[in-house]
Amino acid sequence: MVVGVIALAMKGGGESGGSSAVADPVIPAVSEADIIAAAAQLGPRDQELVDIGETGVSIIRAGGARKYVALTFDDGPGPDTPAVLAELKRLNVPATFFVVGHAVAENPGALRQVVADGHEIGVHTWTHPDLTALPGRAQRSEIENTAGEILAASGVASRLFRAPYGAVDPDVLKRAEDAKLLSVLWNVDTMDWTRPSAGQIVETVLSNAVPGSIILMHDGGGDRTATVQALPRIVTGLRARGYEFATVGDLVISDPPGSDDMSSKSRSTQK
Ligand SMILES: [Zn+2]
């Protein structure tokens, strides 16, 4: 912050000097505070998501007016993230990744690859705790430190949040709202963290997806070989049924959820 102020003061002084203005060689340093301040500036798309989040609910699916679904991947980045990205690229499918802050800190390059491939990023806390069991200050740091790490690593100001285990209560939702994040749950759970076969994962998705579905999978937190293997059949199967794919943000904005598509309840049995 201090460096930035000094650099700006030097630049301003040069300009007020009124000489033949040559490009100022001083490049103002951008501090973390400046980055966070810039991220707080909401574009129209961000504002739509934040507005929904301010109603104190979690989204479980979009409105259902369009035959789109959103694939979501939690707990990464991890060792299987590159394989998930490779399949999504081959299949030309956008997805949403709810990342864990400490995993981003360990492998910021993986997060940058997710962003470079055109996917959306959401906050999934720093250490993956049950937030409902934590005091407010800890809830806040779990969320805000992760949002800051995502921003520092990739330049992305995330507007989406998914609570670990889907465990939300009014306090947790308020913390998300304070951080200008929309809480996102799901209405199709592949249960892939329980290590079903690829065929079982495919069957769960194809038999439960409806227009507007948000589908929960994982690219981190354990061996995700079956998830990777399931992806081609999930995508071709859904396309054969007339579905297309969108990120959660695009899904929600293009097809706003109704009251039946939101939840303020806690779910505590999921990964
Ligand atoms: Zn998780």
pLDDT by residue (tens digit) across 128-177? 999 999 999 999 999 999 999 999 999 999 999 999 999 999 999 999 99
What's the CA-to-centroid distance between 146 and ligand 1, angstroms?
Answer: 13
Contacts of 134 (CB under 8 A, 6+ apart): 142
- At 154 the pLDDT is 94
Nearest CA-CA partner of 160 in 171, 147, 149, 172: 147
CATH 3.20.20.370 is right for the domain spanning 44-263: yes
> What tens digit of pLDDT does each residue of 83-137 get?
999 999 999 999 999 999 999 999 999 999 999 999 999 999 999 999 999 999 9
Average pLDDT over residues 65-86: 97
What's the CA-to-centroid distance between 165 and ligand 1, angstroms?
Answer: 6
What's the CA-to-centroid distance between 98 and ligand 1, angstroms?
Answer: 8
> What tens digit of pLDDT does each residue of 10-53 get?
333 333 333 444 545 455 555 666 666 766 778 888 888 888 88
Query: How many other C-beta atoms are found inside a 10 Å radius of the C-beta of residue 14?
Result: 15
- 174-190: b (≥16 Cβ within 10 Å) or e: ebbbebbbbbbbbbbbb
Pairwise CA distance, residues 120 & 249, whole Å: 8
Q: Where are the alpha helices (DSSP H) in the chain?
A: 2-16, 32-39, 44-53, 81-91, 101-106, 108-116, 136-154, 170-178, 198-208, 225-240, 248-254
What's the CA-to-centroid distance between 5 and ligand 1, angstroms?
Answer: 40
> Coil, helix or strand for 132?
helix
Check: pTM over 0.75? Answer yes or no: yes
**What amino acid positions are annotated as catalytic residues?**
74, 218
- At 108 the pLDDT is 96
Delimit the domains of the chain by residue range.
44-263
Pairwise CA distance, residues 200 & 197, whole Å: 5
Residue 238: pLDDT above 80?
Answer: yes
| Residue 195 and residue 221 in contact, taking contact as beta carbons nearer than 8 Å | no
Residue 40 is given by DSSP the state: T
What's the CA-to-centroid distance between 233 and ligand 1, angstroms?
Answer: 23
